[in-house]
């Protein structure tokens, strides 16, 4: 058997569970009798030649840690063909035959171009707290982010109820409302605003008035940062201006990206790392490995961003009943 050389990197926004995934990729590769490099700092690190051989012990004691020990970046240089050429040269210089990229859609675009233009075999593993990747029910980091945000929301509810206040809580999600929807359902939000559906200021203002008329003393609106009505601060200002309704704003921000991964994320990360290595060694390239309907799902990498993953309609219906 030919001993092959793989490389693994984390790229884009960090997500809890990335470490567990790197661990799985490294240990599976070694178990299969091959060797593996870690690329430090995502595509930027690759361009700068920041590669290090990894062994079993390099990935000891990291399964429980948030962030990514390989570091990550959003590389501007790699967005240009010249940057990708340099990256490919680097991989060839180090005799790397297969590149495994753990990240979100921006990172997958980059990986696909590296394959298409430079002929580098790539495999994508979906990791982003946003969960906005087609072809997988869950992305690595999403479950932890929801759990973290929910912890904060439960606390906000306590103070909102004590003071009879309206809170507008902003969660992450530039283009997607997966976190907002799930957190809103679990936190018992009166309203959930997501980028996938049109938000209406008039409707929102009237709804808030109905809540107080119905005797609600405190309420909670969860908004995804990328909602079309604006972020939490903008919405609070609009509601005040148009309806003279006072609210308090809490932006959960990057707290949602940190922390120890949940069991669900650790299992998902371990599974996808294992399957990514297996698929790549069997000759698959330019694909993403995902987990769908309780089994492994592989799709061509471009499909992961070309097809849009819809929000769970059942949850949308559920929330409108439960919040009324
Ligand atoms: O990685 C996804 C994400 O957390 C989005 O939800 C958010 O809009 C964005 O990253 C923030 O990115 P950065 O940390 O680079 O500002």
3-state secondary structure at position 200? coil
For 163-185, what is each residue's pLDDT tens digit?
A: 999 999 999 999 999 999 999 99
Residue ranges of the domains in the chain?
5-141+261-306, 143-258
Q: Rounded CA gap, 103 and 29, in Å? A: 19
Would the CB of 129 count as within 6 Å of ligand 1? yes
Q: Rounded CA gap, 188 and 322, in Å? A: 8
Would the CB of 13 count as within 6 Å of ligand 1? yes
Verify whether residue 130 is a known catalytic residue: yes
HSE at residue 7, side-chain half, CA atoms within 13 A, is 32
Helix, strand, coil % over all residues of the chain, rounded to 5:
45, 20, 35
Would the CB of 130 count as within 6 Å of ligand 1? yes
* C-alpha closest to that of 290 among 117, 136, 77: 136
Q: Which atom of ligand 1 is nearest to the CA of 173?
A: 6
What pLDDT is recorded for position 2? 87
Would the CB of 141 count as within 6 Å of ligand 1? no
Q: Rounded CA gap, 302 and 111, in Å? A: 10
Q: Ligand 1, atom 15: nearest CA belongs to which residue?
A: 13
For 87-119, what is each residue's pLDDT tens digit?
A: 999 999 999 999 999 999 999 999 999 999 999
Ligand 1 pocket test: which of 10, 105, 130 has the largest number of ligand atoms within 8 Å of its C-beta? 130
143-258 and 5-141+261-306 share a CATH fold? yes
What pLDDT is recorded for position 320? 83
Would the CB of 173 count as within 6 Å of ligand 1? yes
What pLDDT is recorded for position 183? 98
Q: Ligand 1, atom 1: nearest CA belongs to which residue?
A: 13
Find the 13 Cα to ligand 1 centroid distance in Å.
Answer: 6
What pLDDT is recorded for position 323? 83
CATH class held by domain 5-141+261-306: alpha beta
CB 79: neighbour CB atoms within 10 A?
A: 14
Tokens, residue 245 = 């309704």
Q: Ligand 1, atom 12: nearest CA belongs to which residue?
A: 13
* C-alpha closest to that of 92 among 34, 26, 5: 5
Q: Using an 8 Å Cβ cutoff, are 297 and 135 in contact?
A: yes
Who contacts 52 (Cβ-Cβ below 8 Å, separation ≥6)?
Answer: 37, 38, 40, 58
Q: Which CATH superfamily is domain 143-258 in?
A: Phosphofructokinase domain (3.40.50.460)
Find the 265 Cα to ligand 1 centroid distance in Å.
Answer: 18
Q: Using an 8 Å Cβ cutoff, are 280 and 123 in contact?
A: yes
The segments of the chain whose pLDDT lies below 50 read none
For 194-227, b/e burial (b = at least 16 CB within 10 A) is bbbeebeeeebbebbeebeeeeeebbbbbbbbbb
Q: What is the pTM of this model?
A: 0.97
Q: Which atom of ligand 1 is nearest to the CA of 104?
A: 1
Would the CB of 128 count as within 6 Å of ligand 1? yes
Q: Ligand 1, atom 16: nearest CA belongs to which residue?
A: 13
Residue indicated by tokens 């987990």: 291
């Amino acid at each position: 058997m030919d001993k092959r050389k793989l490389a693994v990197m984390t790229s884009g926004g960090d997500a809890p569970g990335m470490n567990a995934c790197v661990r799985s990729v490294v240990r599976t590769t070694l178990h299969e009798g091959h060797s593996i490099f870690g690329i430090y700092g995502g595509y930027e690190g690759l361009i700068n030649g920041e590669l290090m051989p990894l062994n079993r012990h390099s990935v000891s004691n990291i399964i429980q840690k948030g962030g990514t020990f390989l570091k990550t970046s959003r590389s501007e240089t790699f967005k240009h063909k010249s940057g990708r050429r340099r990256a490919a040269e680097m991989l060839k210089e180090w005799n790397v035959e297969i590149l495994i990229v753990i990240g979100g859609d921006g990172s997958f675009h980059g990986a696909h171009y590296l394959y298409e233009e430079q002929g580098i075999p790539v495999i994508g593993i979906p990791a982003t707290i946003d969960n906005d990747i087609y072809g997988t029910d869950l992305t690595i980091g999403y479950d932890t982010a929801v759990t973290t945000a929910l912890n904060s929301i439960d606390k906000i509810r306590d103070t909102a109820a004590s003071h009879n206040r309206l809170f507008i809580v902003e969660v992450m999600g530039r283009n997607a409302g997966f976190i907002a929807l799930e957190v809103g359902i679990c936190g018992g939000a009166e309203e959930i605003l997501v980028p996938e559906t049109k938000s209406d200021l008039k409707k929102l203002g009237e709804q808030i008035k109905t809540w107080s008329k119905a005797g609600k003393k405190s309420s909670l609106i969860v908004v995804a940062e990328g909602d079309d009505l604006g972020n939490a601060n903008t919405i609070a200002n609009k509601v005040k201006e148009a309806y003279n309704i006072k609210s308090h704003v809490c932006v959960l921000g990057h707290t949602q990206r940190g922390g120890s991964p949940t069991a669900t994320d650790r299992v998902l990360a371990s599974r996808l790392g294992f399957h990514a290595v297996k698929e790549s060694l069997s000759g698959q390239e330019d694909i993403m490995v995902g987990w769908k309907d309780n089994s492994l799902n592989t799709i061509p990498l471009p499909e992961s961003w070309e097809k849009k993953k819809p929000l769970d309609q059942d949850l949308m219906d559920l929330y409108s009943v439960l919040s009324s």
